[in-house]
Structure 1
Amino acid sequence: MHILVINSGSSSIKFSLFEAGTREPVSLYEGEVSGIGSGKTTFTFKDVNGRDLSGGSSAVKADNAAEAIEVVVGAVRGPGMPDVDAVGYRVVHPGPKLKEHVRINDDVMQDLEEAVTFAPLHDPSAIEMICEMRSRFPAVPHYACFDTVFHQTMPEAAMAYAIPMEYRARGVRRYGFHGLSCESIVRQMGEAKIRLPQRMVIAHLGSGCSVTALVGGRSVDTTMGLTPTGGVVMGTRPGDLDPGLVLYLLRQQKGDRAASVEKLLNHKAGMVALSGLPNDMRGVREAAGKGNQRAALSLEIFTRSVKKAVGGFIALMGGVDAIVFAGGIGEHDARSRTEILGGMEALGVSVDSELNCKVSEGVRRISASESKTAIFVAPAKEDLMIAVHVDRMIQAGR
């Protein structure tokens, strides 16, 4: 059995083809269509051994989601490719009705349409993607997987906002995101024969960032809330803000005020607003190293926000047994890890500078020998978790 996983963003589609059925899913092919609608769309497609299957040209035409899907379908239906037996999607927000990963039918599509009000910048593109793929693969089952499912174990005190009950009754609460990433880290620890820490903090740091507290491998609190806009400072998102500031921004806009502020907070805030530079940590660090004060300030604010989140969860759980870094920044930027954990020695958190700078595959430990808290770096294997959940639902006959 072969499962196609679609992990779409606002301007990109990552896709993977997994073999599953008699064993845990194994990735065979991976690809990405990026820069959709920019006029400079690029395409990559490789097999598990890294062999390029893109046809020798990375430039493709994809001015919209439908054209991008054509590129994906053309790749997975190319010569020598196995048949697709099921399709799984990462959907940002399920809304208040969908609390588990689910096989997609017309009722589920209606629930997703209703969930758009919670994620108007994310869910519409995912819905369009699902509709396009269902039309191209009508004979196979399709499944939606949600980051929010992992956070269903949070207590009500972590989920509830201090707002009138009428809004809470409509599903306004803290949902949390990056759950598939967190779940994949718990799974990887088991595979690596690492004893699961009782109290753990996972910092998923990339273009989007969140910090999650886990007890016994289950989420008990997280920084992102109703949407992926809140929490710590991110690449293009501000993280938590004074509600009064949002009201101020609304009063400053003309035309569709809500849409304008929503675009500002999701695409024009965060580190790009602070630094005045593109959304690229490496570029920001390079600029800061050359004396760019705005870049240096953006790094300080980013580090400060993540440090406060990690420290807050250590206090919440009465200590921490492990801290894990994942995501593009968390996994690959040693300086961010050093800066975030710097000054936490009194809390029993110490990084081994040599181990921190080494690069290796899978879960690796970077804590110093005297550190009372284990510190790890791990890849975020979200696509694998989608394939795992799709496989389980198929095996369960759902």
Structure 2
Amino acid sequence: MTDVILTVNAGSSSIKFAAYEVGAGALRAVARGHVDDIGDDTLFAAGPADGPIERQPIDAPRGTVDHGAALRLAIDWLRRHEEGCHVVAIGHRVVHGGPDHAEPVVIDAGTLQRLRQFIPLAPLHQPHNLAGVEATLQAFPDAAQVACFDTAFHRQHPFVADAFALPRRLYDEGVRRYGFHGLSYEYVSRRLRSLAPDLASGRVIIAHLGNGASVCALRDGRSIASTMGFTALDGLPMGTRCGQLDPGVVLYLLTEKGMSADEITHLLYHESGLKGLSGVSNDMRELEASDAPEAREAIDYFVARVRREIAGLAATIGGVDAVVFAGGIGEHAWRVREQILGDMGWLGIALDREANAGNAQTVSLSDSRVAVLVIPTDEDRMIAEHTAEILGLMQPADSMPLTRLTA
């Protein structure tokens, strides 16, 4: 019987899952899958970690597959295809851990109740994250359940990066900048530490650019500041989320347009960002392929905001030694990367345009004062590592010897 850790990443319209074999203090990925477009034309895809993924549309009327049904599909597939495996633990991505959770925790009934209190702070994600916990508690009642928080990586921010200029009592009540995408940043930071320890110990800016997007400044592998704030709406424009917004706009929508709180919430979370600006799509690939001037303007706005945040975060940490791109856009949209960094010589960046167009791991010239890298993120593995570490199944990364990885 082989011990395995499952990871569950339940998002607003998709679920990602994976299985990792635990052995000799290390993890080996054995299976992976995802369920996309939940509630629409739902698609299930799964397969061995090192083999082809089989994709299968779900034969059900539109709208009948909810997150519970999607999780049952994933669990049933894992049981059928991983016979002989003993599930010892399940690690969950939980977007919001509030002000107190600075590291993963083993979930009990009290923890689950406390995490429900943060649903208003992450309404697009937290309910589905916790639904994933409840589903696997029923399916694997003897397995340990571990919550891994997207906010935990940012909990050591200095006060100036943590607070809003609001009455102090609100800060004390928890109205503060939490930051998100922490699991992605932590994974990329660990990967950079293996690839280039000298860079990882310096001043690093990581741009996690995807349907959700943010930028984070790190010093010696620790988060110093992030573009996301109290909720996952702040900072960069995203696929359907607005990003940074004058709060007066919300007041205007309330008082002059007569919109309700629910209507404004839907507008800011689902109808804004690249989708709202372009009127075409929230998918960067579709925008790049479009001839519509609004699509080009949406890309230009996205690029301008990323440039502004990189420059601002460089000031926050007193310069920059490396810029790292991750996420779907960050890893694959080379034209976007070129627009962001192509004329940033003033910051010490000399882009290797040929390497960048080939999505190489290092896309800066050899004489660039600032290294620029593309490092694919892997939140599932980060969740599995955290789960194994907290349960004593493997050493924490900080106690492991460094190993330089080849490109």
Q: Which category describes the TM-score, using the shorter chain as reference length?
A: over 0.9
Show structure 1 runs of 5+ residues with no match.
Answer: none
Partner of 1:215: 219
Secondary structure at 1:78's aligned position in 2?
Answer: helix
Instruction: Check the 8 A contact 2:99/2:178 in 1, yes or no.
Output: no
Instruction: Check the 8 A contact 2:10/2:125 in 1, yes or no.
Output: no
- The number of aligned residues is 387
Q: Alpha-carbon deviation of 1:58?
A: 3.6
1:177-201 CA deviation, whole Å, 9 max, x = no partner?
A: 1111111111112333543250110
Partner of 1:234: 238
The alignment status of 1:137 with 2:134, answered yes or no, reads no
Secondary structure at 2:134's aligned position in 1?
Answer: helix
Partner of 1:4: 6
- Of 54, 63, 66, 1:64 maps to 66
The alignment status of 1:385 with 2:382, answered yes or no, reads yes
Instruction: Check the 8 A contact 1:88/1:145 in 2, yes or no.
Output: yes
Show structure 2 runs of 5+ residues with no match.
Answer: 395-407
Q: Alpha-carbon deviation of 1:49?
A: 2.2
Secondary structure at 1:117's aligned position in 2?
Answer: helix
Partner of 2:128: 125
- Of 153, 156, 178, 1:153 maps to 156
Partner of 1:78: 80
Instruction: Give, in whole Å, the separation in 1 of the partners of 2:51 and 2:173.
Output: 47
Worse overlay, 346-355 or 191-200: 191-200
Instruction: Check the 8 A contact 1:42/1:60 in 2, yes or no.
Output: no
Worse overlay, 336-345 or 298-307: 336-345
Instruction: Give, in whole Å, the separation in 2 of the partners of 1:321 and 1:254.
Output: 48
TM-score (normalizing by structure 1): 0.93
> Relative to structure 1, is the Cα distance of residues 190 and 347 closer, same or farther in structure 2, using a 3 angstrom cutoff?
closer
Instruction: Give, in whole Å, the separation in 2 of the partners of 1:341 and 1:95.
Output: 34
Instruction: Check the 8 A contact 1:202/1:211 in 2, yes or no.
Output: yes
Instruction: Check the 8 A contact 1:97/1:111 in 2, yes or no.
Output: no
Secondary structure at 2:170's aligned position in 1?
Answer: helix
1:77-118 CA deviation, whole Å, 9 max, x = no partner?
A: 004432322111101112234332111101101111111122
The alignment status of 1:17 with 2:19, answered yes or no, reads yes
**Runs of 4+, deviation exceeding 4 Å:** 252-255
Counterpart amino acid of residue 194 in structure 2: E
Worse overlay, 109-118 or 383-392: 109-118
Q: Alpha-carbon deviation of 1:375?
A: 0.4
- Of 30, 35, 38, 1:36 maps to 38
Counterpart amino acid of residue 94 in structure 1: G
Partner of 2:356: 356
Instruction: Check the 8 A contact 1:230/1:239 in 2, yes or no.
Output: yes
Instruction: Check the 8 A contact 1:203/1:330 in 2, yes or no.
Output: yes
Partner of 2:179: 176
Q: Alpha-carbon deviation of 1:48?
A: 2.0
Q: Alpha-carbon deviation of 1:50?
A: 1.7
1:311-342 CA deviation, whole Å, 9 max, x = no partner?
A: 11122222110000000000001111110112
Q: Alpha-carbon deviation of 1:247?
A: 1.0
Q: Alpha-carbon deviation of 1:253?
A: 5.7
1:203-253 CA deviation, whole Å, 9 max, x = no partner?
A: 000001101001111110010001111001111111111010011122356
Worse overlay, 56-65 or 323-332: 56-65
Counterpart amino acid of residue 185 in structure 1: V
Percent identity (aligned): 40
Instruction: Give, in whole Å, the separation in 2 of the partners of 1:344 and 1:51.
Output: 40
The alignment status of 1:333 with 2:337, answered yes or no, reads no
